[in-house]
Amino acid sequence: MTNDLVARTEAGARMRAVGRQGPVATGRRALGALLAVTLLASCANTDAATDDGSPHPSEAARTATLAAASEGVDAVTSHHPGLELDYAPERDNRWHDCSGMDGMVERDGALPPERLQWMSSRSFYPSPARPTAPLIDAVVDTLVSNGWTIGYQSTNDTGRDISLGRDGISLSVGGTTRVVEGRDPSLRLSVSSRCIEAPPNLGYSDATGSDT
């Protein structure tokens, strides 16, 4: 596996949560509101253009990341229409400063990023609660039939993940292997772009897209 795929896989793994605290209804709304406020400041202004006026490569990566997330949602809902999608654009679409990742250099978090990854995630919840790891194989099969390639798989005592790649985008599908009291088991999609050059005027603004 290349260093780039490892980095993107690790980034996807950081995004996956195997469950969240209950009770289901109030817990989801409260957590969503908290994360929306916390992560809103991490959303980027991608209006930057190159010297010749064409869109910055970061915008293309952002668009591809959101499109891959939408493709993953379609794959999940085609096989498991009864799962509840929990998605808030201002919380689940964001960029990550990967400026020092290639050289494993720790950077000052107060500095504007030189390089970034676009990330997008979607969570699905079954009702009643049940393990979701058995549900991911059909989703992965559909993605493979659409040109995605399996690159990495991991299993532990609480969850299972399969990471796929296509055209520089990494997509991870994860599920829980058991139900833990006090948590809602989820099926999780985590998408990330390559680490690319950040726009020169990267700033803080509104949510980073509303694609499903």
The pLDDT tens digits for 7-61 are: 444 444 444 433 454 444 334 433 433 333 233 333 444 444 555 556 688 899 9
| pLDDT above 80: residue 109 | no
Res 44: pLDDT? 41
pTM comes to 0.72
* Of the candidate ranges 79-93, 155-169, 188-202, the one whose mean pLDDT is the lowest: 188-202
Res 5: pLDDT? 43
Question: pLDDT-based confidence at 182, cuts 50/70/90?
Answer: confident
10 to each of 13, 30, 60, 87, 199, how far by Cα in Å? 5, 27, 22, 22, 24
Instruction: Identify the residue with better confidence: 167 or 15.
Output: 167
**DSSP track, 117-162:** EEEEEEEEE-SS----GGGHHHHHHHHHHTT-EEEEEEE-SSEEEE
Of 173, 201, 170, give the one whose Cα is nearest residue 4: 170
Domains of the chain: 3-197 (3.30.2030)
Question: pLDDT-based confidence at 102, cuts 50/70/90?
Answer: low
Res 113: pLDDT? 85
The mean pLDDT value for 96-119 works out to 75
The mean pLDDT value for 84-104 works out to 85
- Chain-centre distance of CA 36, in angstroms? 15
Mean of pLDDT over the chain? 77
The mean pLDDT value for 166-190 works out to 95
Cα–Cα distance measured from residue 58 to residue 91, given in angstroms and rounded to the nearest whole number: 19
